[in-house]
Amino acid sequence: MSSLAFYRVAIPFRQGFKHGSAERTQTQAVWVEASRDGVTGVGEGCPREYVTGESLETAERFLTAHRPTWERGFEKLDDMTRWLHENEDIVDQNPAAWCAVELAYLDLFGRERAQSVEELTGAPPVRGSFRYTAVVGDSDADTFDATVGRYRRVGFSDFKLKLCGDMDRDREKLALLRKYEVPENQVRVDANNLWDDTGEAIRHLTALDFAFFGVEEPVAADQLDALREISRAIGCRIILDESLVRIRQLELLLPDPETWILNVRVSKMGGVVRCLDLLDRSNEMGLPVIVGAQVGETSLLTRAGLLVAAAAGDSLLGQEGAFGTFLLEQDVCEPPLMFGAGGTLDADALGLASRPGLGIEVTAAESIFQPL
């Protein structure tokens, strides 16, 4: 029988991060530890009210309600995946909280069997280099200029920026990208569901006169017909994030897979098992993916994202996250998993493919873990 402990993680940011749906100055995460016979696995999830309707409070209720079942019943991977598939509707309402539980047990099972999570789940090994996108929040012109300049000086070529809906400010941001000679076809923008009106979204995006390779969530979530209209009008693909939180939503994209790019965030989707299932289906449909990240993820979710990115293979268009202590005042491990020059992370240098479980050894001060 295993035992579970639940915490919230509170790590201040070095600099606040703002977009159309929220502004953050510290992490908002759930941390789970699963222990048995002196072995402990750890997991993380990032509940977001504006993405999946979750909060730290709903996460606590979910974790507390199911704790006895998990502690008694999860002896091996098959037990956990069986519970997941029998309780899809419950997990759909609590994906980030479940993600933390699932990762903790995957880490525990892997450590008990001296297997990496990839060996345990049958996913491809995490090897080689992974290249990350520079993500720039909604900030004043001087901060935006300085941020883009830093990214360019260390070799970033792919950019994602947050739109605010103010024409002058958004044009100013794009002018700064041109100043730093960022290729337009390597830029995507995230509107975080800014516009209520489809026509207004089209007018704004058209007037920006920029050849984005993708536009993420310009209108309210799940408005697929409106998103199709916007895609046709501006001539680029739509990136689905808040509009893609369950695998069954993929069937709605069957008529026009060329319209879409999927933003697959491990916490949002409810863990790596569901991400792997989604990739199996999206690859059949020919849908490209971006492996996204929640602002404020620690190295633990970065590690989970690497598994998903490796599994995406040729369908992977971009990867977000791995900010580590560029954003966080401290991370949960040393050294943290974070990108280096050119936005690359060298998995081989970290030896992740040969370490048991998730391969993360937690070194953070106990003070950042506050009991739920």
pLDDT(278) > 60: yes
Structural domains in the chain? 3-114+365-371 (3.30.390.10), 129-354 (3.20.20.120)
Helix (H, G, I), strand (E, B) or coil at 53: coil
Report the helix count and the strand count for the chain, using DSSP H and E: 14, 16
How large is the average pLDDT for residues 306-328? Answer: 96
Report pLDDT digits (tens) over 217-266.
999 999 999 999 999 999 999 999 999 999 999 999 999 999 999 999 99
Provide the mean pLDDT of the chain. 94
CA distance 272 to 297: 15
SS3 content of the chain, % helix, strand, coil (to 5): 45, 20, 30
Helix (H, G, I), strand (E, B) or coil at 35: strand
CB under 8 Å to 141, separation ≥6 — which residues?
169, 172, 173, 176
Buried b or exposed e, range 142-168, using 16+ CB within 10 angstroms: eebbebbeebbeeebbbbbbbbbbeee
How large is the average pLDDT for residues 270-298? Answer: 96
pLDDT(10) > 90: no
pLDDT-derived band of residue 28, with 50, 70 and 90 as boundaries?
A: confident
CA distance 227 to 16: 30
Paired strand residues for 333: 362
Report pLDDT digits (tens) over 127-152.
999 999 999 988 889 999 999 999 99
Paired strand residues for 346: 129
Check residues 159 and 52 and name the one with the higher pLDDT. Answer: 159
pLDDT-derived band of residue 19, with 50, 70 and 90 as boundaries?
A: low
